[in-house]
Structure 1
Amino acid sequence: MVFDKQVDVLVVGSGAGALVAALRAARAGADVLVVEKGAMWGGTSATSGGGIWIPGSHLAEQAGHPDDLGEAFRYVRALTADNVADDQIHAFVDNAHRMLAWVEQEADVQYAALPYPDYYPEVAGSREGYRTHLIPTAFDARKMDQAAFDTMQRASPAASLWGRINWVLAETHIALFRPKGWWKTIGKALAGYWLDFPQRLRSPRDRRLTLGTALLGRLRSAVDRTGTPVWLNSPFVSLIETDGRVEGAVVQHEGRELRIGARKGVILAAGGFERNAALRAEHLAAAHDPVASGSQVNNRGDALLATLTLGAATRNMDSAWWAPMFRIPGEDRARLSTVERALPYSLIVDQSAKRYANEALSYHRFGEVMKAPHAPGAETNPSWLIFDSRYRNSYPAGPVIPGIPDALLPASVRKVLVKGSTVADLAKGTGLDTVTLEATITRFNGMVAKGKDEDFGRGDSAYDRLYGDPRVSPNPSLGAVAKAPFYAIPLHLGDIGTNGGLVTDGRGRVLREDGGTIQGLYAVGNLAASVMGYSYPGAGATLGPAMTFGFLAATDACRINEPV
Structure 2
Amino acid sequence: MSSTVSSTGSGVASVTFDVIVVGSGAGALLAAIRAADQGLKPLVIEKTSLIGGTSALSGGGIWIPCNHDQARAGVQDSLEDAFRYVRTCARGEASDDRVLAYVETARVMADYLRQIGVAYRCMPLYADYYPTLPGARPGGRTMDPVDFNAAKLGPQALEQVRPTNPGQLIFGRMNINAFDARTMLAKEPRANWVLAKIMLRYFVDYPWRLKSRRDRRLTGGQALMAGLFHAARQRNIPIWTDTSLQSLIVDGARVAGVVVRRGGADGREQREERLSARRAVILAAGGFERNQAMREQYLPQPTDQGWTATPPGANTGDAIQAGAAVGGALHLMGLTWGVPTLLVPKEEKYRPMFVERSMPGCMVVNARGERFLNESGPYPEFQQAMFANHAATGGAIPAWIVFDADFRAKYPIGPLMPSAAVPDAKVRKSWWDQVVWKGETLAELAGRIGVDAQGLAASAARMSEFARTGKDLDFDRGGNVFDRYYGDVNVHPNPNLAPIAKGPFYAMKLWPGDIGTKGGLLTDREARVLDSGGQVIPGLYCVGNNSASVMGPAYPGAGSTLGPAMTFAYRAIAEICGQPMALERTDLLESAA
Question: 2:326 — aligned with what?
Answer: 310
Instruction: Decide which of 437, 441, 444 is 1:425's aligned counterpart.
Output: 444
Residues in 2 aligned to 1:138 and 1:312: alpha-carbon distance in whole angstroms: 39
Alignment of 1:131-146 (within 5 A): 131-135=141-145, 137-146=146-155
Question: 2:424 — aligned with what?
Answer: 406
Question: 2:174 — aligned with what?
Answer: 165
Residues in 1 aligned to 2:25 and 2:214: alpha-carbon distance in whole angstroms: 20
Question: 2:266 — aligned with what?
Answer: none
1:517 paired with 2:548, answer no
Deviations 1:185-230 (A, max 9, x none): 3233223333333443454322221011101111111111111111
Residues in 1 aligned to 2:430 and 2:24: alpha-carbon distance in whole angstroms: 32
Residues in 1 aligned to 2:427 and 2:214: alpha-carbon distance in whole angstroms: 21
1:258 paired with 2:273, answer yes
Instruction: Decide which of 534, 552, 556 is 2:571's aligned counterpart.
Output: 552
User: In structure 1, what residue type is equivalent to 2:495?
Assistant: P
1:489 paired with 2:508, answer yes
1:47 paired with 2:57, answer yes
1:340 paired with 2:340, answer no
Deviations 1:507-557 (A, max 9, x none): 000111122111111000000000011100111111110110111111111
Question: 2:517 — aligned with what?
Answer: 498
Q: CA deviation at 1:111?
A: 2.7
Question: 2:301 — aligned with what?
Answer: 286
Question: 1:212 — aligned with what?
Answer: 221
Question: 2:478 — aligned with what?
Answer: 459
Residues 400 and 413 in structure 1, CA contact (< 8 A), matched pair in contact too: no
Residues 372 and 389 in structure 2, CA contact (< 8 A), matched pair in contact too: no
| Secondary structure in 2 matching 1:151 | coil
- Cα gap change, 1:39/1:519 in structure 2, threshold over 3 Å: closer, same or farther? same
Residues in 2 aligned to 1:507 and 1:411: alpha-carbon distance in whole angstroms: 53
1:507 paired with 2:517, answer no
Q: CA deviation at 1:64?
A: 2.5
Question: 1:272 — aligned with what?
Answer: 287
Residues 43 and 153 in structure 1, CA contact (< 8 A), matched pair in contact too: yes
1:35 paired with 2:45, answer yes
1:382 paired with 2:392, answer no
TM-score (norm 1): 0.96
Question: 1:392 — aligned with what?
Answer: 408
Q: CA deviation at 1:495?
A: 0.5
Runs of 4+ with deviation above 6 angstroms: 561-564
Residues 509 and 523 in structure 1, CA contact (< 8 A), matched pair in contact too: yes
Alignment of 1:80-91 (within 5 A): 80-91=90-101
Q: CA deviation at 1:405?
A: 2.0
Residues 287 and 494 in structure 1, CA contact (< 8 A), matched pair in contact too: no
| Secondary structure in 2 matching 1:425 | helix
Residues 164 and 205 in structure 1, CA contact (< 8 A), matched pair in contact too: yes
Deviations 1:422-477 (A, max 9, x none): 11111111111111211111121112111111111111100111010000011111
Q: CA deviation at 1:39?
A: 0.6
| Secondary structure in 2 matching 1:489 | strand
Residues 340 and 510 in structure 2, CA contact (< 8 A), matched pair in contact too: yes
Q: CA deviation at 1:129?
A: 1.0
Q: CA deviation at 1:4?
A: 2.1
Residues in 2 aligned to 1:373 and 1:346: alpha-carbon distance in whole angstroms: 19
Q: CA deviation at 1:142?
A: 0.5
Deviations 1:367-402 (A, max 9, x none): 121122546545211111110111101101111111
Q: CA deviation at 1:561?
A: 6.5
Alignment of 1:291-370 (within 5 A): 291-297=306-312, 298-370=314-386
Residues in 2 aligned to 1:51 and 1:345: alpha-carbon distance in whole angstroms: 28
Residues 508 and 522 in structure 1, CA contact (< 8 A), matched pair in contact too: yes
Deviations 1:308-359 (A, max 9, x none): 1111100010010011112223333211112211111111111110011111
Residues in 2 aligned to 1:89 and 1:329: alpha-carbon distance in whole angstroms: 41
User: In structure 1, what residue type is equivalent to 2:166?
Assistant: P
Instruction: Decide which of 70, 81, 96 is 2:80's aligned counterpart.
Output: 70
Residues 344 and 477 in structure 1, CA contact (< 8 A), matched pair in contact too: yes
- Cα gap change, 1:425/1:237 in structure 2, threshold over 3 Å: closer, same or farther? same
Question: 1:538 — aligned with what?
Answer: 557
Residues in 2 aligned to 1:373 and 1:5: alpha-carbon distance in whole angstroms: 53
Unaligned 5+ runs, structure 1: none
Instruction: Decide which of 183, 191, 197 is 2:206's aligned counterpart.
Output: 197
Residues in 2 aligned to 1:95 and 1:174: alpha-carbon distance in whole angstroms: 31
Instruction: Decide which of 247, 254, 265 is 2:256's aligned counterpart.
Output: 247
Residues in 1 aligned to 2:204 and 2:492: alpha-carbon distance in whole angstroms: 40
Worse overlay, 297-306 or 60-69: 60-69
Residues 330 and 412 in structure 1, CA contact (< 8 A), matched pair in contact too: no
User: In structure 2, what residue type is equivalent to 1:514?
Assistant: G
Deviations 1:483-528 (A, max 9, x none): 1111111111111100000000000001111221111110000000
Question: 2:590 — aligned with what?
Answer: none
Residues in 1 aligned to 2:581 and 2:520: alpha-carbon distance in whole angstroms: 31
Residues 287 and 493 in structure 1, CA contact (< 8 A), matched pair in contact too: no
Q: CA deviation at 1:22?
A: 0.7
Residues 61 and 67 in structure 1, CA contact (< 8 A), matched pair in contact too: no
Worse overlay, 188-197 or 121-130: 188-197
Alignment of 1:84-99 (within 5 A): 84-99=94-109
Residues 176 and 394 in structure 1, CA contact (< 8 A), matched pair in contact too: no
1:58 paired with 2:74, answer no
| Secondary structure in 1 matching 2:515 | strand
User: In structure 2, what residue type is equivalent to 1:219?
Assistant: L
Worse overlay, 261-270 or 412-421: 412-421
Q: CA deviation at 1:37?
A: 0.7
TM-score (norm 2): 0.91
| Secondary structure in 2 matching 1:445 | helix
Deviations 1:40-60 (A, max 9, x none): 000100100011111121222
Worse overlay, 409-418 or 345-354: 409-418
Q: How many residues align?
A: 563
Q: CA RMSD in A?
A: 1.9
Q: CA deviation at 1:179?
A: 4.5
Deviations 1:89-118 (A, max 9, x none): 111111111111112112342333422111
Deviations 1:57-92 (A, max 9, x none): 122233222311111111111121423211111111
Residues in 2 aligned to 1:186 and 1:127: alpha-carbon distance in whole angstroms: 30
1:221 paired with 2:236, answer no
Residues in 1 aligned to 2:138 and 2:192: alpha-carbon distance in whole angstroms: 31
| Secondary structure in 1 matching 2:43 | strand
Residues in 1 aligned to 2:397 and 2:493: alpha-carbon distance in whole angstroms: 32
Percent identity over paired residues:
42
Residues in 1 aligned to 2:234 and 2:142: alpha-carbon distance in whole angstroms: 28
- Cα gap change, 1:391/1:260 in structure 2, threshold over 3 Å: closer, same or farther? same
